Every structure is written in C-alpha cells, then in structure tokens.
Amino acid sequence: MAASASSRLLFGDRVPGITDVHGRPAVRSGTGGWRSSLFIIGVEVAERLAYYGASSNLITYLTDYLNQNTATAAKNVNIWSGVASLLPLLGAFVADSYLGRYRTIIISSLIYLLGLILLTLSAAVPSLQPNGCYKTEPRALAKCHGSSTFQVAFFFFSLYLIALGQGGHKPCVQSFGADQFNEDDPTERRGKASFFNWWYMGICGGSLLAVSVVMYVQDNMGWGLGFGIPAVAMAMGLGAFLWGRTSYRLSVPGGSPFIKIVQVIVAAARKRNVPWPQSVKWEEDEEDEEKLLLWSSEVYELRTNRTLPHTKQFRWLDKAAIRDIVLGKEKDWSMPNRWRVCTVTQVEEVKLLLRLVPIWTCCLLYAVVFAQPLTFFTKQGTMMDRRVGSRGFEIPPAAMQTFTSISSVSFVPIYDLVIVPIARKLSSKDSGKGITMLQRIGIGISLSILTMVVAALVESKRLEIARELGLIDVPGAVVPMSCLWLIPQYMLFGVSEVFTIVGLQEFFYDQMPDALRSLGAALYLSVIGIGSLLSSILISLIERASIAGGESWFSDNLNRAHLDYFYWLLALLTTFSLCLFVFFANHHIYKRVNPSI
C-alpha cells in the first residue's frame, strides 16, 4: 500500500527493500540523495588518486626500472589495465547476488590497500627493488643489471592485487552513489542525472592530483614515496567511507539475478514450437499484476514494485511468459514451474541485456583510443623538450596527463550548468538530461577521432624535425620541439571523456535491470578493459607486420618509429565503429518502467 499524504509529509517515502546499514527502512526525501552521494564522491577522489598514482607512470617504471622495451611495456600496461577493468564483472556479480554493495566495497578496499602497500614495498625495500636500476645515473638501460624473477613476480603480484581490489570497489561505489537517489521522487531523479557528471568530476580531480603531484614525486623523489602516497590516500578513503556509514541507503541483495535470466531463456527454448494463443494480453491490470508478480523468483521486483511494460523486440523471448494454463498444461497456476513460465518483467529484463550488446561492442574502439594517453602519449613526451619557464623546469612525461584531467574538470560544470539546460529547452523534454545518453556517447566518440587526428599530426611534425636535424639514428635523442604541442590532444581527449565515459556510466546503470545495476557499472568498465586488451593485441599484430616490412612502428628508438601511422589507423577504425554506433543507437529502445503499484 502507498504511504498516506500525512505520513509522507512527516517521515518521507519509505522504500521497500532499501535499508540503512543497521537494517532499518531507509527514508527518502527530495534532497536526501545528495547528502550521502557528495560524501561518496569525496571517497572516490581518494580512490582515483590511489589508482592513477599507481598506474599513470607505470610504463616509465617498466621501461626504466624493469628494463622492458617500449612495445612490451605498453602491452603489459594494456593487459593489466584490461584485467583491472574486467574484474569488476566478478565484483558486481558478488555484490548484486550475495554480499550487497556496501560489504563488497569494504572487503575489496582492504584487498586494494594491501596491494598498494606491497607495491610500495617493492619499490622501497632494497631487496625487492629492481637490481641496479635505482643506482644508475643517468638512467641508462645498458647499465642496469636486470631484475630477479622474484622481484618481478612480487611487483606484478602487487599490481594484480590492486586490480582485484578495484574489481570489487569500482562498480559498487559508483552504483552505491546512484542508489542514494529515489527514482520515484522527481527532485531526486533530476539530481541523479547530474550525479554522474559531478561523480566524473570527482574522478578527474583525483587523477589530476595523481598525475601532477604523485608523478613529480615518482620522477624526482623516488618510487617508494611515489607509490606510498597512493597507499595513504586509499587508507584515508576507506576510513572516510566507514565514517559515513550511518547515512547510507542500502539495497538488499535478493539472490543471484542470473538465475532469472537463464529461466527466461530455458522457458522460451522449451516453448519454441508452441503456437501462439489466439489472444495475448501483455498489459496486466492491477488485479492480475499482483498474481503475476507472485510467479516471479525475483525478490527485488516484489520489494520495489517496479515492473517493465511489454515491448515487441526479440519476440521469440515472449513465449517464456505464456501461461501454461492457457495451453492447458498447468493446473495450479498460482504455483507455476518457474522454468516454464516467467513474468513479463523477467522477459523484458533479458531484452534489456540483449539491447546493450551492440552498443557495448561499438564502443570498444573508443576504449582502444582511451588506452593511448597512458602509453604512447607518455612515450611521445619523453622524446620532446619538456623544459618550461626561465629556470628550465622539466615536466615529467606522465604529468602531461594533467591536461586531460584539467580539461575534464573544467568542462563538467560547463556541460551540466550550460549545455544541458540549453539542450533541455531546445528539445522541450523534461528528461533531466536534454541530450540523450546515446547522443552524448556518440559526440564523445567523434571527439576521440579528432584527438587521434591531432596526435598523428603532432607526431608527424616531431618526426619531420628529427629527420631535418639528423636525429633519426640517435637513440633516445630529444627532439627540440616543445612538449606543449601535446596539450591539444590531451585536452581534446578530456572533453571526449566527459561525453563518452560519463555517458557510458549513466547508460549502463540506467538501462540495466534494477537488480543488476552493479553489473551495469562493471559493463562500462569492461568496455575499457576489453579495449585495453584489444590495444595490446593490435600492437602485437602491427609490430609483426611492420617488422616484416622494414622498421617497427613501435621501435624503441621513437625517432625511427611511426606512432603517427598507428594514430591514423585508430582514427580510421574508430570512424567505422562510430558509423555502426549511430545505426544501432537510432534503433535502440530505451528502458521504460511502469508506475509503482
């Protein structure tokens, strides 16, 4: 029964299935979502500082201290990044099915912190440091004695322990923050639309601190301290998260939601040869609705009363919802075989998942572009003049990523406070967005193509100067071209992130079934993860092909390499991917929810 007007006025709307950390029913109010979500955004700032502090300069550590060549180091960074972005699928499954997001965040954060502590020890304890490299001056690979198997294994064990911790932390914190908003409250629904923008601004703020402060410490004050700062940041973030535990709203897990998905597929397959009844009623009235909900094994659906209306897409799945009593096979339809008959909502949830597949696939090439700032953009900077100012201050190569963060942080308020209100007026739609989620993603992909074009032009100019000055055959020779030429590609990519990455976060959270929203966050991360792995595979294939044809595009001597060719290829492939994305986006059916009973 709905709450009376007087009880709403005094206590707010009590939401079934949503509790605080003590198990008491949570109370929804028009502004309640921001109280805890702003706190969670602050925790994410600390976590992102920890993650990017450990990963942003990783390629430099692998090449300068573990003595790996450029191509191998880039592939190792991409593989680790890919695994770190795929593990959230496991973390989301555990959270949605068993532990809940709150407990998963705490457990994964402890694993995360342990990995950061071990990573710090690998760079600070003499017996764990790569042999000889820290004592080499200048840092020349020829003078490094290499690392022992144990040292390398300990380093990568620490690194992948961080990936495991992030796998549980990342999808749950984002979904946990969005859960603080009541979608049935108009004010909070609009607030949630802005939440993803300000959430991403918090991410960029944390990464900005990492690539500006932590990168400088790593390059100039030592890697032990450089990895220690992220460990301290993560410890502070976990402490702050626990401190605010009394203000959170929790969604109670209702068992594995994947069983319901399998039930729909099995029921539809078993009835694949069953003829359609003469009349099929998909729009249930309230009296039938209650009976139909009792058929479902979906506990969360019963608690929230959020049902999905029937859609005509993927019609073959609809047979799973045909009542056996209509076919004359089910005598006691109040207790049906759930592997033979499913609710309309169950069927529509499976359809939601199927609709996400083409969108997910079309974004993979964007994720390949996403991997470049951490790898080849950074290596470009090492071969350019990084001195600025009259005193010749030298910018660390990885610190150039600061401009991506600055661009994102600066553009989020512009997007949320200027572009969205204008778009909302022009579209005359009170959606809370103004620009649809898929339109936003498409704009970001377009900007990523422009980023690759700019990067290719800058690298072509750098190689031209190297040829003119006879530096082609001088390994490690710095080209007298200011690294500030890299700023446009970093800043363009920052703006593209505000469109595509935030759009993907919101899209996969919003379009997932209610009980799978942690998985929605994990799916967006899996786009980045698969893209990183594809980048590694693409590098391997191109390296083999280019060596067979002469000089490798990824030669350790970047003055003889051809990163510009690689960037042009990515621009071409991403353009093709964008065309496919536009086609599927135009045919996508957005999720609709029936009013609560």
Of residues 447 and 414, which shows the higher confidence score? 447
44-48, 50-54, 428-432, range with the lowest pLDDT: 428-432
Shared-domain flag, residues 75 and 219: yes
CA 151-155-161 angle, to 5 degrees, is 145
Q: Are 357 and 177 in contact (CB under 8 A)?
A: no
Shared-domain flag, residues 371 and 329: no
What is the average per-residue pLDDT within 71-91? 82
Shared-domain flag, residues 401 and 539: yes
* Nearest to 81, CA basis, from 593, 526, 437: 526
State the angle between helix axes of 101-124 and 32-55 in degrees (0 to 180), rounded to the nearest 10.
30
SS3 assignment for 264-284? HHHHHHHCCCCCCCCCCCCCC
Query: What three-state secondary structure class fits 53?
Result: helix
Write down the pLDDT at residue 335: 53
What CA–CA distance (Å, rounded) separates 285 from 15?
Answer: 23
Write down the pLDDT at residue 110: 92
What CA–CA distance (Å, rounded) separates 34 from 181?
Answer: 8
Tell me how far CA of residue 54 lies from CA of 137, 226, 379, in angstroms.
24, 8, 17
Q: Is 376 inside any structural domain? A: yes
Is 258 exposed, middle or buried, given 0-12, 13-18 or 19+ CB atoms closer than 10 A? middle
Write down the pLDDT at residue 1: 35
Predicted confidence (pLDDT) at residue 212 exceeds the cutoff of 80: no
Shared-domain flag, residues 105 and 182: yes
Instruction: Quickly state the pLDDT bin for 28 (edges 50, 70, 90).
Output: very low
Give the torsion through C-alpha atoms of 51, 57, 59, 60, to 10 deg: -150
Shared-domain flag, residues 313 and 187: no
Q: Phi and psi dihedrals of 27, rounded to 5? A: -110, 130
- Print the domain residue range for 182: 13-253+352-586
Q: Is 6 inside any structural domain? A: no
Write down the pLDDT at residue 67: 76
Write the pLDDT tens digit of every residue in 476-523: 778 888 888 999 999 999 899 889 988 888 888 888 887 777 777 778
Q: What tokens does 501 get?
A: 């990455």
Instruction: Quickly state the pLDDT bin for 449 (edges 50, 70, 90).
Output: very high
Q: Are 381 and 486 in contact (CB under 8 A)?
A: yes
Of residues 392 and 341, which shows the higher confidence score? 341
Write down the pLDDT at residue 152: 82
Q: Is 5 inside any structural domain? A: no
Q: Is 42 inside any structural domain? A: yes
Shared-domain flag, residues 231 and 123: yes
Order of strands across the sheet that contains 13-19:
25-28, 13-19, 250-251
Cα 87 versus chain centre, distance = 11
CB-based contacts of 247: which residues, under 8 Å, 6+ apart?
20, 35, 36, 39
Predicted confidence (pLDDT) at residue 167 exceeds the cutoff of 70: yes
**CB neighbourhood size of 419 (10 A):** 16
What CA–CA distance (Å, rounded) separates 300 from 321?
Answer: 19
Shared-domain flag, residues 37 and 91: yes
Write down the pLDDT at residue 138: 44
| CATH code, domain carrying 421 | 1.20.1250.20
65-74, 249-258, 439-448, 466-475, range with the lowest pLDDT: 249-258
What CA–CA distance (Å, rounded) separates 177 from 155?
Answer: 33
In terms of residues, how long is the chain? 597
Q: Is 409 inside any structural domain? A: yes
Shared-domain flag, residues 249 and 265: no
Predicted confidence (pLDDT) at residue 300 exceeds the cutoff of 70: no
Instruction: Quickly state the pLDDT bin for 447 (edges 50, 70, 90).
Output: very high
- Mean pLDDT (the chain) is 76
**DSSP states along 551-569:** S-TT-SSTTTS-HHHHHHH
- Name the one residue in this structure whose structure tokens are 């790593």: 218
Shared-domain flag, residues 268 and 397: no
Write down the pLDDT at residue 272: 77
Is 123 exposed, middle or buried, given 0-12, 13-18 or 19+ CB atoms closer than 10 A? buried
What CA–CA distance (Å, rounded) separates 467 from 217?
Answer: 34
68-77, 163-172, 304-313, 366-375, range with the lowest pLDDT: 304-313
Write down the pLDDT at residue 255: 59
What is the average per-residue pLDDT within 376-399? 79
Write down the pLDDT at residue 24: 41
Shared-domain flag, residues 233 and 292: no
Write down the pLDDT at residue 131: 61
Shared-domain flag, residues 233 and 273: no
Q: Is 277 inside any structural domain? A: yes
Write down the pLDDT at residue 289: 40
The number of folded domains in the chain is: 2
Sign of the alpha-carbon torsion through 133, 136, 139, 143: negative
Predicted confidence (pLDDT) at residue 26 exceeds the cutoff of 50: no
Write the pLDDT tens digit of every residue in 303-344: 344 677 778 888 888 888 777 544 445 444 455 566 777 778
Q: Is 68 inside any structural domain? A: yes
What CA–CA distance (Å, rounded) separates 334 from 195?
Answer: 42
Write down the pLDDT at residue 531: 83
Q: Is 4 inside any structural domain? A: no
64-78, 127-141, 419-433, 494-508, range with the lowest pLDDT: 127-141
* Nearest to 151, CA basis, from 57, 53, 62, 60: 62
Instruction: Quickly state the pLDDT bin for 13 (edges 50, 70, 90).
Output: very low
Shared-domain flag, residues 244 and 357: yes
Write the pLDDT tens digit of every residue in 113-122: 999 999 999 8
Of residues 191 and 161, which shows the higher confidence score? 161
Q: Are 475 and 142 in contact (CB under 8 A)?
A: no
Of residues 502 and 426, which shows the higher confidence score? 502
What is the average per-residue pLDDT within 135-143? 45
Write down the pLDDT at residue 31: 44
Write down the pLDDT at residue 117: 93
Global pTM exceeds 0.75 = no
What CA–CA distance (Å, rounded) separates 43 from 228?
Answer: 18
Winning range, highest mean pLDDT, from 34-48, 127-141, 489-503: 489-503
What is the average per-residue pLDDT within 344-372? 88
Write the pLDDT tens digit of every residue in 570-585: 999 999 999 999 999 9
Instruction: Quickly state the pLDDT bin for 173 (edges 50, 70, 90).
Output: confident
Of residues 257 and 291, which shows the higher confidence score? 257
